[in-house]
Amino acid sequence: TFDDFRYAYGSVSSRAWGSVKGLSLIPFADFLNHDGTSQSVVLTDEDRQISEVVADRNYIPGDEVLIRYGKFPNSVLLLDFGFTVPFNIYDEGTEIGPSA
């Protein structure tokens, strides 16, 4: 049904990673949460067909590894990933109020 299609599309698109060849699902990468200040990244080698996480520091067992999905404002995070973060440094906007 169309509702099943919408559910499947939403599930895949909110977990897919973009590459030069299109979207792909990377097993376990959707377990990694976003931190806009993290320097950890997911790298993809198209020729070898592999992806790997490069950590920004040494982690001890039990630490949560956070990665930056990209330098995205909350509007993109909400539409593409389904969440927003408070005090997002990549948000842009215009304040509307009384003129000075």
> Average of pLDDT values for 3-28?
81
Nearest to 15 by CA among 29, 3, 2, 34: 29
- Whose structure tokens read 């959707």? 30
Q: Is 19 helix (H, G, I), strand (E, B) or coil?
A: strand
Give the pLDDT confidence of 68-82 residue by residue, as tens digits: 888 899 999 998 888
Sequential DSSP letters for 36-66: TT---EEEEETTTTEEEEE-SS---TTPPPE
User: Domain coordinates of the chain in residue numbers?
Assistant: 2-81
Q: Does the pLDDT value for residue 53 go beyond 80?
A: yes
Cβ atoms of 57 and 30 within 8 Å: the answer is: no
Write down the pTM of the prediction.
Answer: 0.64
User: Cα dist. 77→35, 38, 70, 80, 91 in Å?
Assistant: 11, 15, 9, 5, 10
